[in-house]
Amino acid sequence: MDITSSKFEISNSDVKKCPATCYHEYAFIGRSNVGKSSLINMLTRHKGLAMTSSTPGKTTLINHFLINGSWYIVDLPGYGYAQRGKEQQRQIRRIIEEYILNRQQMTCLFVLVDSRHDPQKIDIEFMDWLGENGVPFAIVFTKLDKMSAAAAKIVTGKYLDKLKETWEELPPVFYTSSHDGRGRAQLLDYIDELNQLPTMTTEELSDINSTDNT
């Protein structure tokens, strides 16, 4: 699969205001400054589609991008940005949790991890929370161009070994670089595979919308 069209559709802080379609959605999340916007731009080959910044914590809303007119990439706020105030941290957590737990159109959540760092407690805890709630997700290591292949293998191996301490089976894992396009084909092939899964019917969507409006 390749991406032939991509466009920004809507930003909001309320999952009930997300697009009222039956399309598959693939959400991307990770710690602040993990390279989420750069990865989205690399996947779509649309520079500037997702706004990138050298300042962490800029994404504070649910951002929907319509891809090929038939499915969505969703850019979620990053977690773990300590310089946000406590009230904003609570608000961001609410946005993230409400989308992940209540958005039935979300087919897979891609959890981005900076490949340069040893296992981070906040990432492990977040993935454990996903597992506890039965959320389908995949791990995406980013910034593989920042180190040698040998070093990357060691660091990413530590992450996977850490997860194996509590996980009987690991989720799908991808290795990427927004700088050189590494992992693009593998990620898009996986999304293409998931796109073959059945979507909600219009009747099911109507029932959800009716419940949201009561």
Q: Report whether 137 contacts 53 (CB < 8 A).
A: no
pLDDT at 90: 87
Q: Is pLDDT at 207 greater than 80 in this prediction?
A: no
Instruction: Select from 110, 168, 161 the least CA-distant residue to 139.
Output: 110
User: How much of the chain exceeds pLDDT 70, in percent?
Assistant: 91
79 or 202: which leads in pLDDT: 79
pLDDT at 54: 47
204 or 17: which leads in pLDDT: 17
The 10 Å CB-count burial string (b at 16+, else e) for 18-45 is beebebbbbbbbbbbbbbbbbbbbbbbe
Residue-wise pLDDT for 100-152, tens only, equals 999 999 999 999 999 998 889 999 999 999 999 999 999 999 999 999 999 99
Instruction: Select from 27, 11, 8 the least CA-distant residue to 140.
Output: 27
* Cα gap 126→159, rounded to integer Å: 13
* Cα gap 213→145, rounded to integer Å: 47
Question: What average pLDDT score do residues 162-184 get?
Answer: 95
pLDDT at 55: 46
pLDDT at 212: 66
pTM: 0.91
Q: Report whether 42 contacts 142 (CB < 8 A).
A: no
